[in-house]
Chains A and B, each alone.
Chain A
Amino acid sequence: MIPGPFSYHRPATVADAIKLLSDLGDDARPLAGGHSLVPMMKLRLATPEHLIDLHGIDGLKGIRRDGATIVIGAMTTQHDLLASSDIAGSLPILHETALLIADPQVRYRGTLGGNVANGDPGNDMPALMLTLGASYRLEGASGVRVIAASEFYQGAYFTALEPGEILTSILIPVPAAGHGYAYEKLKRKVGDYATAAAAVMLTKANGKVASCTIGLTNLSETPLSAAAAAKLVIGTSLDDATLKKAAAAASAIMSPAADARGPVEYRKHVGGIMVMRALQRAFAKAA
């Protein structure tokens, strides 16, 4: 399988990449890790005339602290995330989630920026970013803007990215020390997208849930924030009745597609189970 012909560009700066995107218009696509775009090009489902490879831009890689925010360059790979002791220590749910994405080879190339910017409902990082209250830095010809992950996703493969804009970094507030976390992903095999997955971040006070956020992967055209379910568990010690109520509240907002991973009813059912498991595991981990 050979992709259609295209011209290859390898800019050295974000400014050059933006200029190329602006000049070349709709016929150009930025290329990050390529593990979504290149397979689509081989199937001729994507036929960009110009590829703008972002690998030549040094400034797009790396993990740094900016006060109480962890700033991750868009071209940082899943493998880089897994190798980072800072991520493992202060943002362990990101480590846990990265490890559930695809397989080792794909993680050496696949990037956090590509994962969140592509708008694929099957990608794991978008729902996690909602759960973490993350924001994205977008740079284009008309300047820089920062948008909340919760405002970014509009539909399957439709995002708030404007033509000519590049997502350059992901900004994640450092979670509270002693927080509980879990990303529960049901998949048929290594390398598969989630049949259903749930991310949970919570804090505990006096043995009860003090704060909680829940995100859902591949259970709608966009990642979902299960706000009503998260609200239900606050002030409880996650007894069985509360867990079931939370799962039901989360299931109520799920609208998965029926596909090879199962019919709608099944995916909503296991979606609820992922929420319960993630809540329980996060609660057990919280100090």
Chain B
Amino acid sequence: MAKTHVTMKVNGAEVEGLVEPRTLLVHFIRENLMLTGTHIGCETTHCGACTVDIDGMSVKSCTMFAVQAQGSDITTIEGVANADGSLSALQEGFRMMHGLQCGFCTPGMIVRAQRLLTENPSPTEAEIRMGISGNLCRCTGYQNIVKAIQYAAAKINGVEFQEAAE
């Protein structure tokens, strides 16, 4: 099958590659661009480990072809840290609140949560839980992930994070 030339912006850098039409975006990101922070979990559009941000949308990159991303602007987990290399509010939140155990779901969680907080900078706990309902975590029971996102929201909004009583 003839290959197609694709160009797109990934984490602020212009990238290009030759792909078969059937190449899934997640494979292009991991194997052509060697950005392996984006994980492949279920491969069936359920788990959200492969979530990347494309033109302002959280997308499961296992369910889109690389050719469809022609010309788009993509952010992966490798692109979320602050410009000076320090941790973003969400990364810091996941670290401080123990928002991960094995860490496999974490890249998708953080990329998804970043879009959630961009759309809704002060989400309720219920809105956070619905907002990450397309991302599965099999370790944490989600409690600390929710806290991590609350921590980040507080930091972004410049208020002190108050952990809810349990």
Interface 1/0s, chain A 27-46, versus B by CB < 8 A? 00000001100110110000
Q: Does B104 contact A (CB under 8 A)?
A: no
The residue in chain B whose Cβ has the minimal distance to the Cβ of A192 is: B46
- Count residues of A near B (Cβ-Cβ below 8 Å): 28
A-side contacts of B24, CB under 8 Å: 2-3
Answer whether residue B147 sits at the interface, using C-beta atoms and an 8 A cutoff: no
Q: Say whether B106 faces chain A, with CB atoms less than 8 Å apart.
A: no
| Chain B interface size, under 10 / 10 to 19 / 20 to 34 / 35 or more | 20 to 34
Task: Please encode chain A, from 9 to 22, with 1 for each CB lying within 8 Å of some chain B CB and 0 for all others.
Answer: 01000000000000
Judge whether B157 is part of the interface by a CB distance below 8 angstroms: no
- Which residue of chain B lies nearest to A43 when distances are taken between CB atoms in the complex? B44
Does any Cβ of A come within 8 Å of B20's Cβ? yes
Task: Annotate B71-106 by CB proximity to A: 1 below 8 A, 0 otherwise.
Answer: 000000000000000000000000000000000000
Q: Which residue of A lies closest to B48 (CB)?
A: A105
Q: What residues on A are CB-neighbors of B59 within 8 Å?
A: 105, 108-109
Do the beta carbons of A7 and B21 come within 8 Å of each other?
A: yes
- The closest CB in chain A to the CB of B21 belongs to A8
CA distance A102 to B130 in the complex (A): 11
Q: Is the CB of B22 within 8 A of A6?
A: yes
Do the beta carbons of A106 and B112 come within 8 Å of each other?
A: no
A5 touches B21 (CB 8 A): yes
A39 interface neighbour in B4, B21, B45, B48, Cβ under 8 Å = B45
Establish whether residues A105 and B64, one from each chain, have CB atoms under 8 Å apart when the complex forms.
Answer: no
In the complex, B60 has a CB within 8 A of chain A? yes
Q: Which residues of A contact B51 (CB under 8 A)?
A: 105
| Chain B residues in 8 Å Cβ range of A41 | 22
Given A1-B43, A190-B133, A191-B134, A105:B60 Cβ within 8 A: yes
In the bound complex, how far is the Cα of B40 from the Cα of A56, in angstroms? 27
Q: B27, B67, B68, B131: which contacts A104 (Cβ < 8 A)?
A: B131
Report if A104-B58 is in contact (Cβ < 8 Å); known contacts: A190-B133, A190-B134.
yes
**CB-CB nearest in chain A for B47:** A191
In the complex the two chains form, is A191's CB within 8 Å of B22's CB?
no
Residue of A39, A102, A108 touching B57 (CB-CB under 8 A): A108
- Which residues 93-128 of A sit at the B interface, judged by CB distance below 8 A? 102-106, 108-109
A277 within 8 A of B: no
The residues of B that contact A53 with a CB separation of less than 8 Å are 68
Instruction: Say whether, besides A104-B134, A109-B57, A55 and B46 are in contact (CB < 8 Å).
Output: no
- How far apart are B148's CB and chain A's nearest CB, in angstroms? 18
Assess whether B143 is interfacial by the CB under 8 Å rule.
no
Q: How far is the CA of A5 from the CA of B1 in the complex (A)?
A: 7
A-B contact pairs, 24 of them (CB 8 A): A2-B27, A4-B22, A5-B20, A5-B21, A6-B22, A7-B1, A8-B21, A8-B67, A34-B65, A38-B64, A38-B65, A39-B44, A41-B22, A104-B112, A104-B116, A104-B130, A104-B131, A104-B132, A105-B112, A105-B134, A108-B57, A108-B58, A109-B63, A191-B46
| Partner-A contacts on B (CB < 8 A) | 1, 4, 20-22, 24, 27, 43-46, 48, 51, 57-60, 63-65, 67-68, 112, 116, 130-134
